[in-house]
Amino acid sequence: MYKIELSSDDVPKKWYNINPDLPSELPMPQNSEGKEQIENLSKIFSKGVLEQEFSQDRYITIPKAVREIYQQMGRPSPLFRAKGLEEKLNTPAKIFYKREDMSPTGSHKLNSAIAQAYYAKKDGIERLTTETGAGQWGTALSLACSLMDLDCTVYMVKVSYEQKPFRKAIMEVYDGEVYSSPSENTAYGKQVIKESPNHPGSLGIAISEAIEEAMDLDNVYYSLGSVLNHVMTHQTVIGLELEKQFEMIETQPDVMIACVGGGSNFSGSMFPFLKDKLQGNSDCEFIAVEPRSCPTLTKGNYEYDFGDTKGFTPMLKMFTLGHDFIAPSVHAGGLRYHGMSPLVSLLAKEGYIEPRSASQEEVFKCGVLFAKSEGVLPAPETTHAIKVAIDEALKCKETGEEKTIMINFSGHGLLDLKGYENFISGDLAPDID
Residue pair 188/210 in contact (Cβ under 8 Å)? The answer is: no
What percent of the chain shows pLDDT beyond 90? 88
What own/partner pairs with CB < 8 Å and gap ≥ 24 does 70-75 have? 70/11, 70/111, 70/114, 70/237, 71/8, 71/11, 73/103, 73/104, 73/110, 73/114, 74/102, 74/103, 74/104, 75/8, 75/11, 75/103, 75/111, 75/237, 75/241
Instruction: Express each pLDDT in 195-225 by its tens digit.
Output: 999 999 888 899 999 999 999 998 999 999 9
Judged against a pLDDT cut of 90, whether residue 257 lies above it is answered with: yes
Judged against a pLDDT cut of 70, whether residue 432 lies above it is answered with: no
Q: What integer pLDDT is reported at residue 163 of this predicted model? A: 85
Instruction: Express each pLDDT in 317-348 by its tens digit.
Output: 999 999 988 877 777 767 889 999 999 999 99
Residue pair 105/136 in contact (Cβ under 8 Å)? The answer is: yes
Instruction: Express each pLDDT in 341-399 by its tens digit.
Output: 999 999 999 999 999 999 999 999 999 999 999 999 999 999 999 999 999 999 999 99
Instruction: Express each pLDDT in 125-180 by its tens digit.
Output: 999 999 998 889 999 999 999 999 999 999 999 988 988 889 999 999 999 999 99
